[in-house]
Amino acid sequence: MSAAAPTQSDFWSRLGRFLGRMLGFVLRLIFVLLLAIAIGAGVFYGLPWVYRALVQPVQTHNTQIQDLYNRIEGVRAGTEQSQNAQNDRLTTLETGNDDERLRLDAAEDEIATLRAELADANGANAALAGEVSALRADLGALGEANAAVRAAVDGLAPESDATRTEVAALQRELALLRLENDLLRARVQVVAENLGEARAIMTDTVAAMTDFLREAGAFSADTQATLRVRLTAAAALIEPEPAAALGDLESIWREMERALIRA
């Protein structure tokens, strides 16, 4: 009996220790499971919260910072472009100012030249006015001489051959004076630059000279032929070169005068 009792006591003691260890294992297992569940729940619910609370604001801030940086770069590029455009406009304005200054200097030089030319033209006009006045005075004196010659011719009576010869000479002289008067009138118009009037007077004078050559009866055939050729050449110059034509007509008139004196 005494030997069975210790054996039974050891069994229960071992069973108690086993159950204690099992209970500890179960408790530890439950604790581990609860801890794993807690960790899983923390990870499941905590990561989105961490993302929303920490990561997402950081990403949002990074995006905002990048947008701000892009806007700053855009503003900087726009500012640089605007500055470059302003620099180009300033350069263009400076170049334009230089061109305007050069044109202004050229215009001032041209104005000075025009003023000098105007002063010269005024002097030439004054001289021209004096020349025109002198020619008009000569024309008036020639008209008076024509009137005197006409009165002398009208006062002569062709009673003899000598008288008729003298009358013919006076008539030729009167015709020459009329032609000279016409040439002086043409000279006045050329000097006054009334070229249309000068051409009309010279055209009539050429016709009058041609008639005088044919009707005077005091020129030789050679002289008449030569003077007709010169009159034709002078008539061709009336339209393109009235001043040259007038010079030729005056030369022809002097040749007529010399031929009549020789006659």
pLDDT tens for 29-38 read 898 989 888 8
Mean pLDDT for the stretch of residues 228-235: 94
Inform me whether the pLDDT recorded for 193 exceeds 60: yes
pLDDT in tens, 4-36: 455 667 778 887 888 888 888 888 889 898 988
Mean pLDDT for the stretch of residues 235-239: 94
Helix/strand/coil (H/E/C) assignment for every residue in the chain:
CCCHHHHHHHHHHHHHHHHHHHHHHHHHHHHHHHHHHHHHHHHHHHHHHHHHHHHHHHHHHHHHHHHHHHHHHHHHHHHHHHHHHHHHHHHHHHHHHHHHHHHHHHHHHHHHHHHHHHHHHHHHHHHHHHHHHHHHHHHHHHHHHHHHHHHHHHHCCCCCHHHHHHHHHHHHHHHHHHHHHHHHHHHHHHHCCCHHHHHHHHHHHHHHHHHHHHHHCCCCHHHHHHHHHHHHHHHHHCCCCHHHHHHHHHHHHHHHHHHHHHC
pLDDT tier, 1 (very low <50, low <70, confident <90, very high otherwise):
very low
Percent residues over pLDDT 70 in the chain: 76
More confident residue, 261 or 157: 261
pLDDT in tens, 93-129: 778 767 777 877 776 777 777 677 656 756 655 665 5
pTM to 2 decimals?
A: 0.43
